[in-house]
Amino acid sequence: MNCEVLTLFPGIVEAAVGDSILKRAREKGLLNIKITDIRSFTKGKHKTADDVPFGGGPGMVMKPEPVFEAVEAAAGGDGNKAARVILMSPQGPAFSHAKAVELSRETRKLIFICGRYEGIDERVRTLADEELSLGDFVLSGGELAAAAVIEASTRLIPGVLGDDESAGQDSFCEGLLDYPHYTRPAEYRGMKVPEALLSGNHAEIRRWRRKEALRATMQKRPDLLEGAALTDEDRRLIEELENE
């Protein structure tokens, strides 16, 4: 996956993508991230990237000129369709696992525009192929949101995780939340690991995990069940849970 993040605060992005899974993905050549300071495309000795809003109001607005030039440089020239431009914005649709899968398979370069301050000049939206948000809340800028999108997408690329099956068992992969996980010791402060996980019976373990995934989804996110691909066994397990 090939990404370029356009931001006024490169250090925020580098701190978020410079360690752990993303660091290893970069070292393996599975993820390429370039972090570009939008301020380098500003004019004048003061490198001004924002200005007061027309019509008055609080805060400052990011200027369009440096953002346009940064996007054009990242895309290899104005009109280059070899890139997919994403504007991180609370006005965009919420990012999802399905979108992460889509981006993980994207062959074009992904360019992320990160706004700051009170907002970004509305004309910048014409550069974007799409807008994305992390949900119905506002951050101080798009840097952490872009990093979250990049990490969620990168970990789905084969070879990024130590065990490729790990990503396939995460919450939302099959429309359900993940099942509970346990490790040693088998008992801690009176809390015991479920017997099914200690049984060594793979069929029993598989059934327990599926049932607990369904339980967690029913209790925490029942809305997900409407769109989940449920099997006949799933429906029997749900009936069991409802009768408990």
Exactly one of 37, 118, 131, 178 is catalytic; name it.
Answer: 118
Nearest to 2 by CA among 134, 148, 105: 105
Active site residue 116: no
Active site residue 155: yes
Cβ contact 127:111 at 8 Å = no
Active site residue 50: no
Structure tokens at 140: 């101080």
Exactly one of 10, 84, 90, 151 is catalytic; name it.
Answer: 90
Cβ contact 31:156 at 8 Å = no
Backbone torsions φ then ψ of 169, nearest 5 degrees: -105, 5
Exactly one of 10, 116, 121, 155 is catalytic; name it.
Answer: 155
Structure tokens at 198: 């200690």
Active site residue 53: no
Exactly one of 14, 170, 178, 221 is catalytic; name it.
Answer: 170
d(CA 168, CA 183): 20
Nearest to 21 by CA among 31, 6, 13, 11: 31
Residue 141 DSSP class: B
Residues taking part in catalysis: 90, 118, 155, 170
